[in-house]
Structure formats: C-alpha cells, structure tokens
A and B are shown apart, each in its own frame.
Chain A
C-alpha cells in the first residue's frame, strides 16, 4: 500500500481551492510547459498510454474516447466535464470540485487543447451549492491569471469554461441526457448512434469526461502516460478515489492505488465496521452495482477486473458498507424507490417496470409477499435491462438481481414469516471515529 496522492495532494486547511495553494503544489506548470513541448496529438497519445479509464462508472478508456472525434469536421468541438455525480453512495467528485478545482481546470485546459475544443462546460449537480461556488471562484481566478480566455500564454490557443448548474435528475448523469440539459431541455437521453463524439452538444462533436478523469490529466501529461500506466495493475491503471459510506467507522473519500486489497482497505483505512459488528454485505461501486457477500470480497482487490471477477463492478468507486443486523429487503426497497423515482419516463420497460419492482419489494417487506414474487422480480428485470435507451434501466436491475441471488433466504424468510424479521427498521449503529 503506497501513500501516492495524485488528486488529494493537498492539506484540508480551507485554502486548497485557491490559485495560490494550487501554484504552491506546482499547479499550472504542466499547462505552461505543455503548449511549448507537445502538439495536441502528443497529449492524446500520452493519455492513451496512461491507460486511464473513465472514472464516472463505465470505465471506458479515456484516450480511446478522445480518438473517436471526426478528423474532418468543420464544426466546433466541445468538452464537457461531468460533475453531475448522482449515483447514490458517490461523493468523490465533490471533493475535487470543492477543494481542488484548479487541478480540474488545468486538466480541462490540457484536454481541450488535445481535442481542439475552445469551449468547455463543467456541469455540476444543482444540490452541490458549495462545490458550485468554489469551482466558479476558481474559474474566475483562472481567467484573471490568464490561464483561461483568449490566447493562452505563449500560444494563440483559446479556452473558455462555463460552469453549469444542474437541477436534480439522476438520468442527467448519462452523457446525452446531460447535453440535453445544457441545451435547456428535459434531461432525457438520446438514442445512439450518433455518438456524442460525432454529434453531441448543439449537434457538434463533443467529448464528455468525468471530473476525476479530467483532474488526473495534469499528472499524466507532467509525468508521461507511461509513468501513470505503471501505477496500479496492468488493466486498471492509476489511483482511484473511493467514496466510503454506510456502517464504517471512518467514512469519507480515499485515494487508493488500483490493485490494493479491498478487505485491508476496509479494515485499516476505513477503521472496520461500526460498533464492532460483522460485515454483512458490500455494494462496491455505487447503488447500481451488484451487492456482494463478505466471502466474495475476501480476495478482491480494488480494480476493474478483480471486482468484476467477484461478481460486481468498480463503477464510480462508491463503497457502501452494510453491517449484520440490516434488513436487505428494506434496503432494496430504498434502492427500488430511487430508480422508480428517477426513471425519466421515456422508455416503457423502465418507466413501468421500476414501479412494479418497487410494489413487489414493498409487498414482501410489509408481509404480503408470495413465494412466486421472487421469480417475478427477476423476470421483470430481464425485460428492463438492455431494453431501454440509457443505462438507467440496467442500473435499476443490478441491485434487484444480485439481492435475489445473494440474499434469497431473506426474501423467503419475509414471505414465510409474513413480515419483516427486523420490524421494518434499520438498526442504528453509532460509534464513529
């Protein structure tokens, strides 16, 4: 376990968001050097070499995504930084936006230069009032200092950033939903193709990357893609921010090296489970990733391949820890309520299906369940997943299928007993550090 901190390379002293603090950490040096040293294609090449995979949840290689831009388009290219961060359990981008926004801005300048975008949008979810203010302040500072605006130092290159405030809709975290939102429309998603790299914001070629991905770019350009590529494992390179919540003694945002042991991380860095309880389950990558039992996590390391092999997904890196004594059906009801609430209504399987799922789970939790309900749940998910325009439908099914698979006995117990063995409540655990 190493102490390398790329994204959280600052002290939490209330000043880390300022230009002064960022420059003390050699901030903006990379951007000044890069314009002289590298062509845009060189930067794309470094990012490709780094192997960094999109940190929003899908894990798609960022450099490869950039290379999908058409070479012969005469339309402007846009870069969007996705800071919608709506996946329940996730709060890692918030830390960058609130406490290290200049690193993100430098990443955006470098990335815009690489893909020849003159205008970038940072889309931040509306609830993040503080993050919006901190980021806007940093953008204003960067304009004043000449890092943004027309003709950046030593070049004829232009880069503008607009901070855009969302208004509360999970589906907008999807890239095309987010583009519709910036265009002032309902945040419903678009059919693909055309893919955003060809026809995105305002019908122009658009690259959209997560906050954490873009904030990693200055380090990659400064040190070279190869150096970044050597951090972590072969296929999961670099560091990853994990948002840890639930029944742990030290919840919060951690930066870990890909490939670290999950159980060691949970025990040592997160301080283990509250009140000395035993671990019952882990949702390792945000609410839509399949739930795991403790035995699935024993040999798991924190990287895309290992968590996939364990039966789930690294997703956005949101680790939700669940202690013994928690009713899994009640928990699933909370999740099902969320997906039903957030379904945008565009595709029938998701709009109707998420409502049916919620009704059935509620019925089981409240004592009116029948044995056949369990298989009805998984039959409904079969008709939602991969039958919708966007991944919200698939996301709604991940928890249902995995809860049924891993905790079937709890469904049976609820149905046989005619009610919730935990009295329909969550046990309250207290002792945090």
Chain B
C-alpha cells in the first residue's frame, strides 16, 4: 500500500496549493498555540482538494508549518484516513471488525468485489471505485456497515448494496 515518495515528483505543478488553500491553512495555524497542531486539519484540506496527499503538497506544507516533509510523512503514514495514493471517485470502505463480521460483512465484501471486479485495496480501471477493508467504524448496532467517501451506509444487505451502487452511477 505504501507509496515511495520517489514515485511522484515533489515539485509537480499539478499539486500546487491554491491561494484559497493557503489562506485556510494560515487560519488554522492562528487557531492553535503551536503551529504543528494545524498539520492534521491541513492534511484534510489537501486531501479534500486532490483526493489524496501528494508529495508535492507535503513539501509545500512543510514550508508553511516550519517542519520537514519527513515528519509530515510520518503522520500521513501513521493514520489510516490519509490516502497515500490516489483513490477512485467513490472510496468504498467496508468494516471487517467483530460485529460487522458476525452480521455478514464477508458477504458484502465478496459481493462488491465481484460486482466491481476488484479486490480490496484496488481501484477500478475507470478510477471510479476503490474498495478497502477497514477496522471498526463505530456503527456496530447497524452492522454490516460501509462508508463511501464520508457517508455511512448501515444495515447492509446485498440488495441494498446494489441500490447504493446504482445511485452512484
């Protein structure tokens, strides 16, 4: 899963932070007693814009926060919600933990895998869907559960999954 920084250009103009993003990050910095506290929310600003955390953006962010790209990488790779490589338009994350497993998460994953023709961890060729397995999403009472981008879909059945996928077309 981890992507070596050298795979991507660190000065890629495609991933230059926009003035709006810079302003938002500056606002964040002013909210905390220490600059570095703005790091995690700033990474979300980057991910919201580009869909993942590109190395070029990390280099720019390091300058703004007076830190090193290395330190930012350590944070990006530590937390599961920062995408280290591009994901599809719809990032489908299915919970694989206890309560979801008890309530049939495996069937949901197998169905998605077959329908989208990808394995967990992969993205469809048209870059529309990425399928991931994740740990407990904290919706155990309505298992099985998946999250698509930042929306939860609960009490899943195979039929419900089909309807959801159709609504995303």
Contact surface of A with B, Cβ cutoff 8 Å? 85-91, 94, 125-130, 162, 164-170, 181-188, 202, 243-247, 251-253, 283, 287, 318, 320, 322, 326, 330-331, 334-335, 337-338, 341-342, 344, 425-426, 428-429
B142 within 8 A of A: yes
Question: Could you tell me if A185 and B36 are in contact, using CB atoms closer than 8 angstroms?
Answer: yes
Question: Which 9 pairs of residues, A with B, have the shortest CB-CB distance?
Answer: A184-B39, A167-B79, A245-B140, A168-B80, A129-B150, A184-B36, A245-B99, A168-B81, A88-B136
Enumerate chain A residues within 8 angstroms of B150, measured Cβ to Cβ. Answer: 129
Among A87, A127, A202, contact of B137 (Cβ-Cβ < 8 Å): A127
Question: Could you tell me if B79 and A251 are in contact, using CB atoms closer than 8 angstroms?
Answer: no
Enumerate chain B residues within 8 angstroms of A247, measured Cβ to Cβ. Answer: 102-103
Question: Could you tell me if A202 and B103 are in contact, using CB atoms closer than 8 angstroms?
Answer: no
Among B32, B37, B106, contact of A426 (Cβ-Cβ < 8 Å): B106
Question: Could you tell me if B44 and A165 are in contact, using CB atoms closer than 8 angstroms?
Answer: yes
Please count the residue pairs between chain A and chain B whose beta carbons lie under 8 angstroms apart in the complex: 143
Enumerate chain B residues within 8 angstroms of A85, measured Cβ to Cβ. Answer: 138
Among A162, A166, A246, A337, contact of B103 (Cβ-Cβ < 8 Å): A246
B161 within 8 A of A: no
Question: Could you tell me if B33 and A331 are in contact, using CB atoms closer than 8 angstroms?
Answer: no
List B54-70 residues whose CB lies under 8 Å from chain A: 65
Question: Could you tell me if A243 and B104 are in contact, using CB atoms closer than 8 angstroms?
Answer: no
Of residues A166, A334, A425, A429, which shows the largest number of chain B Cβ atoms within 10 Å of its Cβ?
A: A334
Enumerate chain B residues within 8 angstroms of A168, measured Cβ to Cβ. Answer: 79-81, 134
Looking at the assembled complex, report how far the CB atom of B73 sits from the nearest CB atom of chain A, in whole angstroms: 10
User: Hey, what's the 0/1 contact readout for B138-152 against A, CB within 8 Å counting as 1?
Assistant: 111111000100111
User: Hey, what's the 0/1 contact readout for B86-105 against A, CB within 8 Å counting as 1?
Assistant: 00000000001111011110
Enumerate chain B residues within 8 angstroms of A251, measured Cβ to Cβ. Answer: 140-143
Of residues B106, B140, B152, which shows the largest number of chain A Cβ atoms within 10 Å of its Cβ?
A: B140
B43 within 8 A of A: yes
Among B74, B75, B135, contact of A170 (Cβ-Cβ < 8 Å): B135
Question: Could you tell me if A334 and B98 are in contact, using CB atoms closer than 8 angstroms?
Answer: yes
Question: Could you tell me if B40 and A167 are in contact, using CB atoms closer than 8 angstroms?
Answer: yes
Question: Could you tell me if A91 and B139 are in contact, using CB atoms closer than 8 angstroms?
Answer: yes
Question: Could you tell me if A243 and B34 are in contact, using CB atoms closer than 8 angstroms?
Answer: no
A331-B79 contact given A127-B138, A165-B41, CB 8 Å threshold: no
Enumerate chain B residues within 8 angstroms of A129, measured Cβ to Cβ. Answer: 150-152
A425-B106 contact given A182-B37, A287-B98, CB 8 Å threshold: yes
Question: Could you tell me if A181 and B40 are in contact, using CB atoms closer than 8 angstroms?
Answer: yes
Enumerate chain B residues within 8 angstroms of A245, measured Cβ to Cβ. Answer: 99, 102, 140-141, 143
